[in-house]
């Protein structure tokens, strides 16, 4: 079977996107397809597979599969990639996207895509886990955030997998090691749930800024330096909504020969 796709990335967080507005594929097992097509050396290579489908409830429905075939509740980087495609398709200023963590909206902001991720919540503050102190944040998916980390020695590579699956957490988590540069600038290194080390994580950037604001460490507008590039986070105190802003790129289009 030939599977038409669009390869996209947001700050190096990369995805294979299947556009069901343009294609009608008879696929019953996307978990298996995701693992095959996302394989770095034997497939197209990506952090995840993203399905963009028509729906009566919004401009589109987004479904995300991690590179291991598991489902992801939410992904800010994938959301911006889908939003970019939809804004061009509908020639609209705003689009709505139904996700597994609710309805999201997106707009074009100069050269960037701006998405409203909704609200976040601190599940538990100052958790002690294997010598690390961090905050567990839910923004539609779980993030464990460690402030004050020494990023020069790549702690995400050394400890990310262990923390991701630690039994103290109700489910496996995304892990972020954070260095605060000042009240409006931070750096993050990322270990993403079910994927591993990634160059960016949109919901992780938003969760980190939210946790920093709640601790009184950060302002409501923060520039986040990720391994693959920069995004900006804006927190609207009155509504509690968190906005993720940054560019996305279409890398290439193709057809994947899937032997099922």
Q: How many residues does the chain have?
A: 260
Residue 128's contacts (CB-CB under 8 Å, 6 or more residues apart) are none
Show which residues are catalytic: 75, 201
Residue 24's contacts (CB-CB under 8 Å, 6 or more residues apart) are none
Residue among 227, 245, 17 nearest 117 (CA): 245
Helix (H) or strand (E) segment spanning residue 186: strand 185-192
Angle between helices 202-214 and 76-90 (to 10 degrees): 120
Residue among 204, 159, 158 nearest 178 (CA): 204
* Whether 59 contacts 103, CB under 8 Å: no
């Amino acid at each position: 079977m030939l599977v038409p796709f669009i390869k996209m990335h947001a700050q190096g967080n990369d995805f294979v996107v299947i556009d069901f507005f343009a294609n009608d594929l008879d696929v019953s097992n996307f978990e298996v397809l995701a693992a095959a097509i996302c394989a770095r050396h034997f497939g197209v290579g990506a952090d995840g597979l993203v399905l963009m489908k028509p729906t009566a409830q919004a401009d589109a429905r987004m479904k995300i599969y991690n590179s291991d075939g598991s489902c992801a509740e939410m992904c800010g980087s994938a959301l911006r990639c889908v939003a970019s495609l939809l804004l061009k398709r509908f020639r609209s200023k705003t689009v709505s996207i139904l996700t597994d963590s609710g309805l999201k909206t997106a707009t074009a902001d100069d050269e960037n895509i701006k998405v409203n991720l909704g609200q976040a919540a601190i599940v538990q503050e100052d958790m002690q886990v294997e010598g690390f102190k961090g905050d567990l944040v839910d923004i539609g998916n779980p993030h464990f955030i460690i402030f004050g980390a020494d990023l020069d020695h790549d702690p995400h590579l050394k400890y990310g997998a262990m923390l991701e699956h630690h039994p103290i957490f109700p489910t496996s988590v995304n892990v972020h090691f954070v260095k605060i540069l000042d009240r409006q600038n931070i750096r993050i290194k990322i270990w993403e749930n079910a994927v591993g080390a990634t160059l960016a994580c949109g919901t992780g950037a938003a969760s980190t800024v939210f946790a920093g604001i709640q601790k009184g460490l950060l302002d409501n507008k923060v520039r986040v330096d990720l391994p693959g590039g920069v995004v900006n986070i804006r927190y609207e105190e009155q509504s509690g909504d968190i906005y993720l802003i940054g560019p996305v790129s279409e890398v290439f289009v193709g057809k994947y020969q899937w032997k099922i």
